[in-house]
Amino acid sequence: MASLPNFPTVHRALFSTASSHHQMVSHLRGRTFQFQVRAEASASPSPAIERSGRRQALAAGAIATCISLSQVNSASFAAEAKKGFQAVLDKKDGYSFLYPFGWQEVVIQGQDKVLKDVIEPLESVSVNMVETNKQDIRDLGSPQEVVEALIKRVLAPTSQKTKLIEASEHDVDGKAYYSFEFIAQAPNFTRHALGTICIGNGKFYTLTTGANERRWEKMKDKLHTVVDSFKIFAV
């Protein structure tokens, strides 16, 4: 088994909330406003007309910026979306993924994002992060070593019997990801789960999704779509 550094700390941190929010839209709007004001001032109109022109320029700049950002976001979602799925794009923490249409977001203390089926609660997806000084997931060990340690120490309580079915490495845009499949057996249910982990932005990202074993055959293609869609990006 791999000796992953600071795994007790990882366990605690995976259930701690994220902080600070960078307001990129505000900066973009500010730049648009300044450009528009300078353009109006260069014409040297009367003070009253200048003030009116500036107000119109500010309003036009705000509208143009919102439309521009909306178009970019819409294009991004359209490119990433798949029939029967909805997209999550977290610009603050630098990740995106798809989830089945109809799943609802729920707030669970310490988890960054959780969505689940309201009828089948074991059908869910969650994303957690913890800070790390590592640059690459491969720095921690092989896929099987890292995933086995993660499952036993973080993803399943000690009361559950776990079995790792598969762990593999794949590359997305030059970034290494470890993806895996495992079963967690509790006294009253068995959950069949998939996950993927990656390091970037100074964080160790973990996405997990799954379903009750009795519904695995029906849900497995959708759950694979969720895991395969997970990407991180620089922030």
What are the tokens at 177?
A: 């990801």
Pairing of strands 175-185, 161-172: antiparallel
Give yes or no for a contact between 219 and 123, defined as CB atoms under 8 angstroms apart. yes
Among 149, 183, 186, 152, residue whose Cα is nearest residue 166: 183
Per-residue model confidence (pLDDT) at position 170: 96
Q: Is 17 a residue whose pLDDT tops 60?
A: no
Cβ burial of 199 (10 Å; 0-12, 13-18, 19+) is buried
Per-residue model confidence (pLDDT) at position 4: 52
Distant-in-sequence contacts of 16-19, Cβ < 8 A, 24+ apart: 16/110, 17/109, 17/110, 17/112, 18/92, 18/93, 18/112, 18/129
CA distance 136 to 14: 18
Per-residue model confidence (pLDDT) at position 20: 31
Per-residue model confidence (pLDDT) at position 41: 33
Q: Is 145 a residue whose pLDDT tops 80?
A: yes
pLDDT, one tens digit per residue, over 215-232 is 999 999 999 999 999 999
Residue with the bigger pLDDT between 117 and 39: it is 117
**Percentage of the chain modeled with pLDDT above 70:** 66
The reply to whether CATH 2.80.10.50 applies to domain 82-232 is no
- Cβ neighbors of 180 (< 8 A, separation 6 or more) are 143, 147, 151, 164, 165, 166, 167, 168, 194, 195, 196
Q: Is 51 a residue whose pLDDT tops 70?
A: no
Average pLDDT, the chain: 77
Per-residue model confidence (pLDDT) at position 110: 81
CA-based torsion, 133, 137, 139, 144: positive or negative: positive
CA distance 133 to 195: 22
- Cβ neighbors of 38 (< 8 A, separation 6 or more) are none
Q: What residues does each domain of the chain span?
A: 24-77, 82-232
Q: Is 235 a residue whose pLDDT tops 90?
A: yes
CA distance 209 to 232: 17
